[in-house]
Amino acid sequence: MEVILLERVAKLGQMGEVVRVKDGYARNYLLARGKALRATEANKGRFAEQRAQLEATNLERRKDAEAVGAKLDGQSFAMIRQAGDSGTLYGSVSARDLAEILTAGGFTTSKGQIVLNTPIKTLGLHQVTVVLHPEVSAKVTINVARSAEEAERQARGENVLERETDNLDDLGLEIGAALAEAGPMAEM
């Protein structure tokens, strides 16, 4: 099916281009979300009449998105989640969770604006892209930790998953000292 793009669509084309796409993609995504019109003669004429207005609206949205993107880019957000000793989360952090934490941080976003190829399933610092406009995106850091203190340590660059390793010689001496303090009954 041929469609006229009403806005820039990544990996497809710019506003005003007539592109050929699969019927399902056109019906279920482009037409349903108002990103395109069917490429009929009537729609081509209607688009030509409205092109200046659409470009002005797009420019205004882009300026707003750039202003928000300048504030959002480089921000860090902490998420507290339960995890095992190996650093694997018991659940996962999805795009919906990220949209909620960004909204709580003062930035109005939806889960559709979060680019997350796979859910976050481990503790640590994760870079996430937020698409504010087809031409504007920002990168944020998501700090997934088990507690607020752990999040602060991760933000400073510490590895919270390192276990303290005891020297076996020291451990043997500690056990021997404990047995000596317990007296002769402990040896039986």
What whole-number distance in Å separates Cα of residue 124 and Cα of residue 144? 5
Q: From start to end of the chain, where are the E strands?
A: 2-5, 18-20, 36-38, 76-80, 88-93, 114-115, 120-122, 124-133, 136-145
CB contact at 8 A, 136 and 7: no
Average pLDDT over residues 172-179: 67
What whole-number distance in Å separates Cα of residue 116 and Cα of residue 103? 17
Residue 132 token pair: 């504010």
CB neighbour class for 102 (10 Å; exposed up to 12, middle 13-18, buried from 19): buried
Average pLDDT over residues 62-88: 92
CB contact at 8 A, 103 and 63: no
Q: How confident is the model at residue 173 (pLDDT cuts 50, 70, 90)?
A: low
Residue at 137: amino acid letter: S
pLDDT at residue 171 in the model: 58
What whole-number distance in Å separates Cα of residue 96 and Cα of residue 83? 19
**What structural domains does the chain harbor?**
2-71 (3.40.5.10), 73-155 (3.10.430.100)
Mean pLDDT taken over the chain: 87
Does residue 95 surpass a pLDDT of 90?
yes
Average pLDDT over residues 103-128: 91
